[in-house]
Structure 1
Amino acid sequence: MTTHVITGAGSGIGAAVAARLHARGDDLVLLARDAGRAKEFAARYPGARTLVADLSDPDRISWALSHQELPDRLDSLLHIAGVVDLGPVADLRPVTWHQQLNTNLVAPAELTRLLLPQLRVSQGHVVFVNSGAGLRASAEWSAYAASKHGLKALADSLRAEEHDNGVRVTSVYPGRTASPMQAKVHSQEGKEYDPARWIDPESVATALITAIDLPKDAEINDLTVRPGR
């Protein structure tokens, strides 16, 4: 059975991906930030397994996972979780930088490191859900964009390092997607939020699943998804 570890399965793109893979019978291992969230995932996706680790505290991920049962083999590791907090550089304090860099960059690097042995066994696939902000930075997006630019560098380096081990690496760059995160962004921007204007998470899920379903003789390195209207 195909096995996926997924972060960010609680809402938005992550929830859409988890629901699609669960519906087709794949084996899901869902990372939850705490035991309460893990219980919610287990109820929402019957048969799925859960792991508990707080991505905002990457220094403790190794310790947390050492006390839990990891899959013996892993077909894909899907990094979908992320946080955003906007503000001008002049106003951003270190806590805001650390929060976004830890969750969006350091935690994916650490989780990948810990699960690489299982990915190598199955010649699996690592997917990083990045952002348009990972390719260009706008005013008041400095901390988030820095975390996502770093995530691109992580993916590119990992791809070069693991090519001979048969591990594929894909970065997905969605444009603005209708999700709770997007609602928060609009609130911080002082704009009215109309989800109909933005990409449906199901559309990004389709793109991501296309990448992991590609036969092993090919690899999608970078995949950009933009609003069609």
Structure 2
Amino acid sequence: MSAAPDRTDSPRVHLVTGGGSGIGTAVARRLLARGDEVWLLARDAGRARQLAEALPGAHTLVGDLAEPARLSWALGHQAPPDRLDSLLHVAGVAELGPVGDLTPKIWNEILAVNLVGPAELTRLLLPQLRLSRGSVVFVNSGAGLSASPEWSAYAASKHGLKALADALRAEERDNGVRVTSVYPGRTATPMQEKIHRQEGRAYDASRLIDPESVATALLTAVDLPRDAALTDVSVRPGL
């Protein structure tokens, strides 16, 4: 296999989902600050405008992870980058509740955004990732390794995301595409604030992981020299 093209004089190109808050915003800001080219996936045109205003210099693509079957059509009517050095899957949703209370609608929404949408977006962008011998990084969760009561749907989606990452890593190794799963503990994000409300617990961001710390883990995986790869990274609150 030929070596990856030398692009030391051109900015690296990244696509980030979930760039509107929390970990996604932290990653996007740091990539922009170092001069890289950043693309953000937005669920609709209005959200794309908000992201462009919040993160000056970033490009946007419109595509709703909640509707995976429409992603191909959506990207086909736009102009995604012709190469990608990384695809960073940060977006996610959560809804807690006992199995006896979770309806098919809730299951389908969680699985679409957390698993099927990322799988389809990855499929559509694999040619660009192969061209650059790029990286795919999935923000998973501790729930992707073990499930607790009332976490069934979210944990199932994250267990599936781990399986997706493991299979993709084996399939794309010969193409030079690296695949990393990052498993953060509870991180100070709007989604975690919602989870605390559902659990009936007080939300104290100072007791949680800073999104910047998780962003550091993601960027470490992307920036690691080509002679190595980070496959599974757990990020836990400090002592």
| Aligned counterpart for 1:44 among listed residues 54, 65, 72 | 54
Query: Does residue 110 in structure 1 map to residue 114 in structure 2?
Result: no
Match for 2:218: what amino acid?
A: L
Instruction: State the Cα distance separating 1:35 from its structure 2 match.
Output: 0.7
Query: Does residue 23 in structure 1 map to residue 33 in structure 2?
Result: yes
Query: Does residue 81 in structure 1 map to residue 91 in structure 2?
Result: yes
Instruction: State the Cα distance separating 1:40 from its structure 2 match.
Output: 1.3
Q: Deviations over 1:173-220 (max 9, x none)?
A: 000000100100000001111111100000000111111000111100
For structure 2, the 5+ residue unaligned runs are: 1-10
Match for 1:159: what amino acid?
A: R
Q: TM-score, normalised by structure 1?
A: 0.99
For structure 1, the 5+ residue unaligned runs are: none
* 2: CA distance, partners of 1:72 / 1:56: 24
Query: Does residue 69 in structure 1 map to residue 84 in structure 2?
Result: no
Q: Deviations over 1:87-133 (max 9, x none)?
A: 00011100010010000000000000000000000000000000000
Match for 2:131: what amino acid?
A: V
Aligned residues: 229
| Aligned counterpart for 1:222 among listed residues 187, 211, 232 | 232
| Aligned counterpart for 2:65 among listed residues 55, 60, 70 | 55
Match for 1:32: what amino acid?
A: A
State the identity as a percent. Answer: 72
How does 1:161-180 map onto structure 2 within 5 Å? 161-180=171-190
Q: Residue 199 of structure 1 corresponds to which residue in structure 2?
A: 209
Match for 1:75: what amino acid?
A: D
Q: TM-score, normalised by structure 2?
A: 0.95
| Aligned counterpart for 1:181 among listed residues 174, 191, 201 | 191
Match for 2:165: what amino acid?
A: A
Q: Residue 106 of structure 2 corresponds to which residue in structure 1?
A: 96
RMSD (CA atoms): 0.6
4+ aligned runs moved over 4 Å, structure 1: none
Q: Residue 213 of structure 1 corresponds to which residue in structure 2?
A: 223
- Structure 2 SS opposite 1:74: coil
* 1: CA distance, partners of 2:132 / 2:74: 24
Instruction: State the Cα distance separating 1:44 from its structure 2 match.
Output: 2.1
Instruction: State the Cα distance separating 1:47 from its structure 2 match.
Output: 2.3
* 2: CA distance, partners of 1:53 / 1:73: 18
